[in-house]
A and B are shown apart, each in its own frame.
Chain A
Amino acid sequence: MTAFERLLAGEVSALARAISLLEAGGDASDALAARLRGHTGNARVIGFTGPPGAGKSTLISAYVAALRARGERIAVLAVDPSSPLSGGAVLGDRTRMGEHSTDQGVFIRSVAARGHLGGLALSIPAILDAVDAAGWPTIILETVGAGQSETEIVEFADVKVVLNAPGLGDDIQAIKAGILEIADVLVVNKSDLPLAERTVRQLQAMLALRSAGSQDVPVVMTSATRLDGLDDLEQAVDNRFGLSADLDAERRRGRRLRGLLRRRAEAAIRDRLVAIAPDRMDAICERVHSNAVSIDGAALELAALALDGNEVAGALLDEP
């Protein structure tokens, strides 16, 4: 069997190697990603995100145990930031999922963000496809919900679970990062703590302020360490999959591809923006100062400039 066939057959080492290749990017990686797209759409992707200290990994471990108890096979992608200075990372999320280490029905992979411009969004869709193609029916995508790029990543999930925990210093941290907006299920973990009820009420209040549809977002209380509330979480996630027509296989494939294209396009524009010659930039700024063009107008001009191949090529030649 070729490596690709072994991946489709569910061999762990083939999947592991494939993920490494997809993380690396480049031509071989893109070729593999393209091939994989024909074999996907079966996996349900559940995103878990939330601030550090909310107990994500412990909760995911308990949730995995619950799913295993009903006979499901689960893959977990644990995403962590890389050091902006060195590009390296210490990946320790899976240490809290140690009870599943030797279970053949669970696949856990630690993924570092690697400091790509725009975050991990460029390789995550391909990695999801690989795990999907390898036959894992449920994929949990775990990210730290601390910033913009992590929010982007979790958008690739079909159902997005956003975690909070009481007393993390800033109860509305989730809102600041814009994550609350995308949540399908809200969880308040560490329900045994005294402020848990208050956190639930605050979230419910914020949901009420959201635009229509927020009433469908359940707020679930869990205690990962006491294994409380897991049934409720299971139910809430299952309901979400049941409710939405958006979540059938065909649509899921489509969403993932659209998301990927959008991110790739953003990255392409970002790269080109950086390459614009300083004097061209200065000229535009001058026109803003003299009120010849509005800020929005100028931004569109800049974008057009970025996409104009000649402009970029010329700028690059000018570089010392």
Chain B
Amino acid sequence: MTHARIVPLNRDEDQPSLPGFEDAEDRWRQDYDRQIGTERRIVNRSGIEIDPIYTPENWSSDRYMADLGFPGQAPYTRGIYPTMHRGRTWSQRQLIGLGTPGDYNERVRKIVDHGATAISLIPCNSGFRGIDCDEVPLPLLGTCGTVVNTVDHMDQALDGIPIGDISTAMNDPTPFTLLAFVLGVAKRRGIPFERITGTSNQSDYISHFVANHMFYRLSQPGSRRVLVDHVAYCREHVPNWNPVSVVGQHMQQAGATPAETMGLTLSTAIQYAEDCMARGMDPDAILPRFTFFFDISISFFEEIAKFRAGRRIWARIAKDRLGARNPRSWRFKFHGQTSGVDLTAQQPLNNIARVAVQAAAGIFSGLQSMHTDAYDEAITSPTEGPARIAVATQNILREEAHLCDVIDPMGGSYYVETLTNQMEEEILQVMDRIEAAGGMYEAVGSGTVQTMIGQSALAAQEKVEAGDEKVVGVNCYQDDDGVEQPEPYRPDRQAMEAHVKAFKAFKADRSQATVDKAIAGLREAAQDESANTFEKVVDAAAVGVTHGEIIGTLREELGFGHPLIIA
């Protein structure tokens, strides 16, 4: 099935020409050709050629209602809500993850005090791997994320944070033990689950099999099952939680072009929606809680066009393909993170400028939630000073540059509208390829997606090597004299040792009988197709079963995640 196309790009021949336009254009063209010197061909990251100027010949407002409309209405190009940032600004949701739960708590309290309206937790890489802290060499713990293996740890991490009022994002793939721990904490604090808001930020297992390799948890079919269980459970018990976040970030970071990224991500969203619908769920019951997570690169206009096109395409898909009738189901809600791939280790302070540009692109793209990178991100997990500047950047763009005063201020730009339409065309082509390959699940299983991305990654690297793609401080304007590298973050070794020791003591003190029973319950559920595995994960977490134990059990039953394809 190919996707419906937008109104053709060529200008309607019946439209009367603007008086004097042709002559003026000819004159400009002559002057331009005479003065430009050697004309170089400019192509953006998605392969679209960029002209020196755009005029009503490319796009004009007679297409306003077809291409743009008004915010909060079809085709949704200008935004998913009528008020957008003029009403409520995006959530400032900085990703935080470091050291012990105590370290996380200290950092998150400061961020909240400085104006963050939502929080996020990134677990230690050992957590992503699906193992507990006592199975890992000490120097590797807590360097890129917080070590959280039990409900107690989560309680410490969120000490003093009003989780019934503030939105929390858990960066945790299947089987979502971190959310299980949050629910355990909510129960302890007497907070009903209906008040728990946030997102399962790494629920997109398909993107993990393609890039970033968090798959070393469950097999592809196992992950598929647990995700749908998770959606079903949340719908019933944690109705204000977003159980699905479809992630474009990993693929773009692995080298997919912006257009490829949007195409692949939307294809993944279709896959998840259809998997849930195959289990009998109504699209209007699940789509309002589908969210997206993207990188915002420094290709400023391209990113804005990518998101506007994506928003427009998703609305059509939700309605026409997935059959959702409620407008809330058609909304493309997304969190944007400024892309770390564009940041450099060389001359790191330059990254502050880069992040500001990326963040501005994000704002003009109409995102709902944003994380801005700290300037030392290319070297280390963000340290405090740089992390504060990242938050201040968002505040400056909003308060001083007034970027939120007008909804979709780029709308109507001849360039941006043309580019949005062109990006839509590229995105739909990628989606057609995925359709032809049998949908995203199959396409990833067969390696089609990985090959596509690998080729784009190599092509991009070659451009940088050849000097065609310029990176300041790396292949141009280099100047490394006396530029001091920021100090990398390292968790306090003693604190971490103590944390691991306390964890071992906790395991020894638990009631083994209770733990065994919970694990047996989890195992049974895994073996029974009609049971809900996530429900058992929540139960197990509540009685003190650890992260590694839960995942280990599910791996035995549902299969270990293996690499699907290599270089």
Contact = CB atoms under 8 A, between A and B. Distances in A.
Contacts of A98: 562
A53 B446 contact: yes
Interface in A42-82: 53, 58
Contacts of B47: none
Nearest to B567: A90
A225 interface: yes
A96 B562 contact: yes
Interface band, chain B: under 10
Interface in A68-114: 90, 92, 95-96, 98
B563 A95 contact: yes
Given A225-B219, A225-B559, A95 B446 contact: no
B566 A92 contact: yes
A92 B562 contact: no
Interface string B550-563: 00000000010011
A58 B219 CA distance: 13
A82 to B, nearest CB: 14
B529 to A, nearest CB: 14
B447 interface: yes
B455 to A, nearest CB: 14
B563 A96 contact: yes
A95 B566 CA distance: 8
Interface in B208-231: 219, 221
Interface string A180-206: 000000000000000000000000000
Nearest to B446: A53
Nearest to B563: A95
Given A53-B446, A53-B447, A225-B219, A90 B562 contact: no
Contacts of A53: 446-447
A92 B454 CA distance: 15
B461 to A, nearest CB: 16
Interface string B464-501: 00000000000000000000000000000000000000
A92 B567 contact: yes
Contacts of B563: 95-96
Interface in B40-88: none
A53 B442 CA distance: 12
A225 B222 CA distance: 11
B432 to A, nearest CB: 17
A94 to B, nearest CB: 10
Contact of A90 (B221, B559, B566): B566
Interface in B382-404: none
A95 B219 CA distance: 15
Interface in A1-39: none
Contacts of B221: 225
Contacts of B567: 90, 92
Interface in B532-567: 559, 562-563, 566-567
Interface in A88-147: 90, 92, 95-96, 98
Contacts of A90: 566-567
A98 B447 CA distance: 19
Given A53-B446, A225-B219, A58 B566 contact: no
Contacts of A225: 219, 221, 559
A55 B560 CA distance: 16
B334 to A, nearest CB: 33
B523 to A, nearest CB: 17
Nearest to A58: B562
Interface of A: 53, 58, 90, 92, 95-96, 98, 225
15 contacts: A53-B446, A53-B447, A58-B562, A90-B566, A90-B567, A92-B566, A92-B567, A95-B563, A95-B566, A96-B562, A96-B563, A98-B562, A225-B219, A225-B221, A225-B559
Interface of B: 219, 221, 446-447, 559, 562-563, 566-567
Given A96-B562, A98-B562, 13 more contacts: A53-B446, A53-B447, A58-B562, A90-B566, A90-B567, A92-B566, A92-B567, A95-B563, A95-B566, A96-B563, A225-B219, A225-B221, A225-B559
